[in-house]
Amino acid sequence: MKVGKLDDEIIDKYLKAGKIARKALNLGVELVKPKKKIDLYELCIKIEEYILNNGCRPAFPCNISLNQVAAHSTPYRGDEIEFEKGLLKIDVGAMVDGYIADNAVTIARGYEYVKISEVNKDILDEVIEMIRNDINLGKIGEFVEDRARQYGYKPISNLTGHLVDRFKLHAGKSVPNTKQLLAHRAYAGEVYAIEPFLTFKDGAGSVVEGGEARIFSLTKLKKIKDKDLNKLKNHIFNEYGLLPFTPRWLENLYGEEIFTKIRELYRLGYLRSYPMLVEKKGAFVSQFEHTVIVTDGEPIVITKE
């Protein structure tokens, strides 16, 4: 089988990444299910270790985002929550030879939260059925917005799905969650992470930066005069390339000083930060996500069971 620019070998790598990403996500859900008090750090470690122990690498730090936090939240040691009501998002990515699968689920507790999460999941399933070669991605955004509003919810306008490429989590094209007059088209052989985010009607329908950044990626490789920082910069590149990483991945090797060193690399302009993204009015946010390969017919959903 050949799909666009993708041959059998590449498709197999995407399928393996998708299978492990999905199983890692399912593991996270199972670990959360029986608990009200959740150690977020231990949860992330178990999810990421599952990926590593099954022939893949995390494509980005496991994101666990609670309630009004929509994305880019990854825990540090000692982070615990009491989760009785609300929306807990788990977002997991796995990678095989640079080929990335990205998926997410929302765990809902409380009637109103279960309802929005069910609508969110249904919208994702409906969107996936729309994905075809040469589709205008703006049509997807229009559909998500119309369906969300039909049920009395709002999509998050400034969070989108994204084109995925080898070693590139965000490869240039976006899949909007609101109507867009000017949008890209999707073509056979391209791979997309599709992720509608919904919030309640009293929310702003957009996110802003809030809280410290715990996820970073390298932005340049120029030599640094400080030998220790230069060594750290090279280590980050050798381990993670230009993909997102978190200082907690380096804590065992560098100790607590890693957090100071990362802040210094950021100050010098060697790192991009990804601050937590929070709903502008504090409304709770739901998210579901799959990664698909676009074909001339039905898409291949690589993260589906």
Q: Which of 48, 79, 102, 190 is catalytic?
A: 102
Q: 40-53 and 8-32 are packed helices; what angle lies between their axes, rounded to 10 degrees? A: 150
289 is catalytic: yes
Q: Tokens representing 116? A: 């929005």
Residues paired with 165 in a beta bridge: 168
Beta bridge partners of 185: 136
Question: Which one is catalytic: 145, 190, 289, 290?
Answer: 289
Which of these is catalytic: 162, 190, 279, 290?
A: 162
Tell me, yes or no, if 170 is annotated catalytic. Answer: yes
Report yes or no: 293 and 11 within 8 Å, Cβ to Cβ. Answer: yes
- Which residue among the candidates 48, 195, 279, 290 is catalytic per the annotation? 195
Radius of gyration of the chain, Cα coordinates, nearest whole angstrom: 19
Which position among 170, 184, 251, 264 bears the catalytic label? 170
Q: Is 165 a catalytic residue?
A: no
Based on the residue annotation, tell me whether 162 is a catalytic residue of this protein: yes
Nearest-CA neighbor of 243 among 221, 268, 218, 270? 218
Name residues whose C-beta falls within 8 Å of residue 288's C-beta, 6 or more positions apart in sequence: 104, 105, 106, 117, 120, 121, 123, 124, 195, 196
Catalytic residues, by residue number, are: 91, 102, 162, 170, 195, 289
